[in-house]
Structure 1
């Protein structure tokens, strides 16, 4: 191959189209030194440790399953993805919370909330840069996700909207966030619960920034969440160890480097808890009622807090038209800023542009 791939500025991503164009076809892998399936050393479970949707990306090892089996992969990744974080007890639950900056930060406190099926790891770069500009930042893993507690349904937490709101209130008290703060919300399920919490607690919010999140009754529901609601099939789907990374890549123009995919994959490999937490959350939500609540609650006459939509326009789950429709419902208080080159997780795809948008807005 005579040409060189032109890489994007981001260090965490490789353009899927460009990398596929520069790699040999799958049929040529046998001649490039990969281990054939009939080789005695072939690991039939290699898909667990070799990000399948990224097999064509140039950053992957030459040999499938080179990273080892599940146990070896867990050992290799057990300390990954905990940047700026610590475990905090709030009531009966333990939250994993990332923190950058200090409580004396002159510009105020920002709380970042992630969506399903991901975790606060997606905000690591944005948080680091925002704290450098004088902001105090928190990003918790919602209960059931990332490195936070994942109670068995029926034993202290049932993954309902009401319980998520109550648990988040207690966490804010534990973190001693008393004055109005800046809120950033992104994503499905628990992401939408971040918005419904905001609607019930406007006095606690200074300003709110919304990254790609379902906002209107016309917002589509991705196939993953529909599958989780199908009896038996949902139980099978929720235990797919790579569902988080596949979901991220499915909504983005990029693939994750394996070292980043490891972190999103790790909770689902460590135990069945995260999968069943995701399953219960998907079962309990009423998409129509929740989206209607959001659309009406943020409309003119109902919501007067300054609101920014920082929208990745390459989102394959939620189109730009959803953000535009939402803005039209309250043009005086909602402003749309498009993030070119970013998909469903703009904070992961292009954090520098997200930081620029947040700094200007906050």
Structure 2
């Protein structure tokens, strides 16, 4: 296996991404190491908010939300998960696992922002972030979740099964086009190219192809026991917890209600299904999402 490094030349023409690079060394396991790239915008002593992306995006997804959040008084921290964005990429899909992603993300957090933080999470950012909330609720001041869930087995939907098989076996796995198809608004050619930038060839897409295979939506899959244990802490989480889901997302659009019903801190919050909003809600409704984070943090007394 090789650990691939991102070519800076691929990111030279990225639009609307004027953010400085930051890096953390990560122990990947099995004797391998790599670097995780992240954004760190806003005053170092401001209340931190973690912005966790999912599949198959990267921190570019948060370019529209970060300026608003910084202006409101946050320190915004948006990592590129290992295998994504500017972060290093193991080129063997079998090397990736749910637990390894949790471990890599926890290593990053311990190094960068070990104290309490607000959380915004979407897609796999929620499968990782919500599990972390359940395992260490005292480290999260408040949570806003969008188009995500914390699965514990069951029967996957036909739409998800189609997506999982496509990610695994499709000969053409064009990341930018996937983002385009899963938003309710139109991406420019430059934005599509920006989402393609981290994935110039097939080996660089190993992590993106692996993620859908790791979602524990069927009984017996790895991660179910860990998520069930995390749900005990997540259900008891009593700080403000808000859901803002895109109503045009065919896979996760209907998964807000289980979070609302089960999580204590979600009670009496202004949960909203956002119209004209697809899976990648940060592209379609960045203003509403940023305001939701601001309002939730204020309700928590964190901002």
Give the TM-score, by structure 2 length. Answer: 0.79
Would you say the 8 A contact 2:245–2:274 is kept in 1?
A: yes
Per the alignment, in what secondary structure is the counterpart of residue 262 of structure 1? helix
CA–CA separation in structure 1 for the residues paired with 2:232 and 2:186:
33
More relative contact order, 1 or 2 (CA 8 Å, 6+ apart):
2
* Range with bigger deviation, 112-121 or 249-258: 249-258
Would you say the 8 A contact 2:52–2:129 is kept in 1?
A: yes
Question: Is 1:120–2:50 an aligned residue pair?
Answer: no
User: What are the ranges of 5 or more consecutive residues in structure 2 without an aligned counterpart?
Assistant: 1-7, 27-32, 298-303
Q: Deviations over 1:49-100 (max 9, x none)?
A: xxxxxxxxxxxxxxxxxxxxxxxxx968534155314141323321121121
Structure with max Cα Rg: 1
* Aligned residue number for residue 259 of structure 1: 190
* Aligned residue number for residue 179 of structure 2: 248
Would you say the 8 A contact 2:148–2:252 is kept in 1?
A: yes
Q: Deviations over 1:321-360 (max 9, x none)?
A: 3212431233653532232332212211121111111111
1:39-118 residue pairs with structure 2 within 5 A? 78-80=12-14, 82-91=17-26, 92-105=33-46, 108-118=47-57
* Aligned residue number for residue 260 of structure 2: 327
CA–CA separation in structure 1 for the residues paired with 2:10 and 2:92:
30
CA–CA separation in structure 1 for the residues paired with 2:234 and 2:126:
22
Cα distance 1:351–1:315, how it changes in 2: closer, same or farther (>3 A)? same
Per the alignment, in what secondary structure is the counterpart of residue 37 of structure 2? strand
Would you say the 8 A contact 2:131–2:230 is kept in 1?
A: no
Question: Is 1:287–2:217 an aligned residue pair?
Answer: yes
Would you say the 8 A contact 1:77–1:263 is kept in 2?
A: yes
Would you say the 8 A contact 1:315–1:344 is kept in 2?
A: yes
User: What is the CA RMSD across the aligned residues, in angstroms?
Assistant: 2.9
Aligned length: 273
CA–CA separation in structure 2 for the residues paired with 1:255 and 1:212:
19
CA–CA separation in structure 2 for the residues paired with 1:118 and 1:259:
15
* Aligned residue number for residue 275 of structure 1: 205
CA–CA separation in structure 2 for the residues paired with 1:310 and 1:163:
28
Which residue, out of 204, 207, 210, partners 2:139?
204
Q: Deviations over 1:160-181 (max 9, x none)?
A: 1221111112111221x12210
CA–CA separation in structure 2 for the residues paired with 1:282 and 1:218:
15
How far does residue 102 in structure 1 lie from its aligned partner after superposition? Answer: 1.2
Would you say the 8 A contact 1:297–1:303 is kept in 2?
A: no
Would you say the 8 A contact 2:121–2:146 is kept in 1?
A: yes
Q: Runs of at least 4 residues of structure 1 off by over 4 A?
A: 74-77, 215-219, 289-292, 298-301
* Aligned residue number for residue 178 of structure 1: 114
CA–CA separation in structure 2 for the residues paired with 1:101 and 1:295:
35
